[in-house]
């Protein structure tokens, strides 16, 4: 047993346990990510109903065609107009990798190749430097590139991570949903990323 593990157990048994537990939950990812090249796409059938694409009531002043990502709720909304939005479950950035702002879709790609950005390689040096598009590719079936950022709305090889905070800042969707979104939005579509 490591010293850190012994220290963690001692803290959990101490009066400071609630504070320590809150600290741990705020810095740990909610789950481990799936390695690139592993194809778990068949697991999308296990996705809970609330994380599946559905039409919902949604009040906003944003015009139809706007994408709003709510990272706290882990949903992406495509505003349809008249108080209606198409809602999709998404996986979001883990603690320390969340961000917000307004951008536009700058590029679209079908079955995109994946080149991890230098920032990701620095954190995870074992990652491949490039991976061809396909079912095991972490970007999945489609990718919508967000402005000049390194972030994307994309499919996934790991649908079990939808609804979780596990990514490096991108927003992942099951492939069926990202294909649907991709077909509905043109280049230049406004993307608003919110945390509330």
Catalytic residues: 154, 170
Q: Per-residue b/e over 139-150, b at no fewer than 16 CB within 10 Å?
A: bbbbbbbbeebe
Distance CA 11, CA 29 (A): 20
Q: Residue 196 and residue 181: Cα distance in Å, rounded? A: 22
Element (H, E) at 23: helix 17-27
DSSP class of 165: E
- Say which residue the tokens 């850190």 belong to: 4
Q: List b or e across 84-103, with b for residues whose CB sees 16 or more CB atoms inside 10 angstroms.
A: ebbbbbbbbbbeebeeeeeb
Q: Which residues contact 48 (CB under 8 A, 6 or more apart)?
A: 89, 163
How many distinct helices (H) and strands (E) make up the chain?
4, 11
CB 104 within 8 A of CB 147: yes
């Amino acid at each position: 047993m490591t010293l850190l593990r012994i220290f963690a157990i001692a803290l959990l048994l101490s009066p400071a346990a609630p504070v320590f537990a809150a600290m741990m939950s705020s810095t740990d990812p909610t789950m481990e990510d799936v390695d690139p090249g592993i194809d778990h796409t068949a697991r999308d059938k296990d996705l809970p109903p609330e994380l599946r694409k559905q039409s919902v009531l949604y009040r906003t002043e944003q015009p139809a065609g706007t994408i709003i990502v709510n990272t706290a709720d882990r949903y992406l909304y495509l505003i349809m107009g008249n108080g209606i939005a198409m809602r999709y479950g998404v996986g979001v950035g883990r603690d320390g990798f969340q961000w917000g702002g307004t951008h536009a879709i700058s590029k679209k790609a079908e079955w995109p190749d994946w080149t991890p950005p230098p920032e990701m390689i620095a954190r995870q040096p074992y990652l491949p430097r490039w991976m061809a598009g396909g079912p095991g590719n972490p970007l999945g079936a489609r990718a919508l590139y967000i402005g000049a950022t390194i972030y994307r709305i994309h499919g996934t090889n790991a649908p079990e991570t939808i609804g979780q905070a596990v990514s490096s800042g991108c927003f992942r969707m099951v492939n069926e949903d990202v294909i649907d979104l991709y077909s509905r939005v043109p280049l230049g579509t406004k993307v608003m990323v919110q945390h509330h």
